[in-house]
Amino acid sequence: MAKGDLIAKGGEGISRLGSLTSGVVLDVRSPRKRVGAMEVILFLAAGVIVGYLFRSKRTFLTGAGIAAMWSLYLLIFLLGISVGANESAIRAFGRLGWQAFILCTGGIVGSILVSCIVSRAFFASIGHEK
């Protein structure tokens, strides 16, 4: 940047807006805030506390399970919208489609295998109590 340039800082990534009439260039960083790990941990801890306090209320837990499932459906839908709006992702479907299918299938099969192994190793005696 030349002498007399103006930089406005804050957020992430610099984008040049262009030259103003006085020859000053204004660079503005994106104000987008990312959710950090601390926020995620705090929400998880709050959920654990609420679940512990209401553990004897079956209707509350059933409602929470239904709300969680519909929230996941909504998140998957919103992810689909963002992928559909991304031109480069749409162009890459033909090339990445099979790789994604193989990775997803491997993840599902691997999860099933590991859960069967863990279930037999750690929980086999629970069902055999008399």
Mean pLDDT of 13-42: 58
> What is the separation of C-alpha 51 from the centre of its chain, rounded to a whole number of angstroms?
22
pTM value? 0.47
- Per-residue pLDDT at 19 exceeds 50: no
pLDDT the model gives residue 126: 65
Phi/psi of residue 23, nearest 5 degrees = 85, 10
Which strands, in side-by-side order, build the sheet including 25-30? 6-8, 25-30, 12-19
Return the structure tokens found at 73.
Answer: 């459906």
User: What's the N-to-C CA distance of the chain in angstroms?
Assistant: 79
pLDDT the model gives residue 7: 46
pLDDT one-digit tens code per residue, 54-107: 989 889 889 999 999 999 999 999 998 998 898 888 888 777 778 888 998 999
Average pLDDT of the chain?
76
> What is the separation of C-alpha 130 from the centre of its chain, rounded to a whole number of angstroms?
44
User: What is the C-alpha separation between 45 and 50, in angstroms, rounded?
Assistant: 9
